Amino acid sequence: MSERKLKLTLSVYGVGGPAQHSLWKDPRIPKDASIDIRWYIARAQQAEAAKFDALFIVDSQFINATYPAHYLNRLEPLTLLSAVATHTTRLGLIGTASSTYNSPFNLARRFGSLDQISDGRAGWNVVTSFDTGTSRNYGLDEHLDYETRYGRALEAVEVVRGLWDSYEDDAFIADIERGIFLDPDKLHALNHRGEHFRVDGPLNLSRSKQGQPVIFQAGVSEEGRNLAAHVAEGIYAPGEDFDSAAEYYADVKGRLAAVGREWDDLVILVGASPVIAATDAEAQSLAREIYEADNDFDRKLAAFGRAFGAYDFSVHDLDAPFPDLAAEAEKGGRTRGTKILERAREGGLTLRETVLEFTQYKPSPFIGSPATVADTIERWFRGRAADGLNLRLRTPDDIDQFAAEVVPILQERGIFRTEYESDTLRGNLGLRIPENRFAVTSELAAASL
Provide the pairing of β-strand 267-272 with 234-237. parallel
Q: Does 190 score more than 60 pLDDT? A: yes
Q: Quick check: 301 and 355 in contact, CB under 8 A? A: yes
Q: Quick check: 126 and 224 in contact, CB under 8 A? A: no
The SS3 assignment for 9 reads strand
For every residue of 341-370, which 3-state class applies, written as one string? Answer: HHHHHHHCCEHHHHHHHHCCCCCCCCEECH
Q: Quick check: 244 and 383 in contact, CB under 8 A? A: no
Write the DSSP assignment of 370-426 as a string of letters. Answer: HHHHHHHHHHHHHTTS-SEEEEE--SHHHHHHIIIIIHHHHHHTTSS-SS-S-SSHH
pLDDT-derived band at 448 (thresholds 50, 70, 90) equals: low
Q: Does 142 score more than 90 pLDDT? A: no
Of 405, 346, 429, nearest to 9 by C-alpha is: 429
Task: Kindly report, residue by residue over 345-364, the tens digit of the pLDDT.
Answer: 999 999 999 999 999 999 99
pLDDT-derived band at 140 (thresholds 50, 70, 90) equals: confident
* Region of residue 260 (left: phi > 0; alpha: psi -120 to 50; beta: else): left
DSSP state of 11: E
Q: What is the pTM of this model?
A: 0.93
Q: Does 252 score more than 70 pLDDT? A: yes
* Region of residue 400 (left: phi > 0; alpha: psi -120 to 50; beta: else): alpha
Mean pLDDT calculated for residue range 372-383: 98
Known binding residues: 59, 96, 150, 221
Q: Does 444 score more than 80 pLDDT? A: no
pLDDT-derived band at 447 (thresholds 50, 70, 90) equals: low
Which burial class, exposed, middle or buried, applies to 381 when counting CB atoms under 10 A from its CB (0-12, 13-18, 19+)? buried
Residues 6+ apart with CB under 8 A from 39: 14, 30, 33
What pLDDT was estimated at residue 442?
A: 66
Q: Does 309 score more than 50 pLDDT? A: yes
The SS3 assignment for 219 reads coil
Q: Quick check: 336 and 213 in contact, CB under 8 A? A: no
Domains in the chain: boundaries: 7-279+365-440, 296-358
Of 206, 174, 212, nearest to 187 by C-alpha is: 206
Which burial class, exposed, middle or buried, applies to 38 when counting CB atoms under 10 A from its CB (0-12, 13-18, 19+)? exposed
Q: Does 2 score more than 50 pLDDT? A: no
Known binding residues for FMN: 59, 96, 150, 221
H-state helical runs in 51-175: 69-72, 77-85, 104-117, 134-137, 146-164
Q: Quick check: 93 and 54 in contact, CB under 8 A? A: yes
Mean pLDDT calculated for residue range 57-82: 94
Q: Which CATH class is domain 7-279+365-440?
A: alpha beta
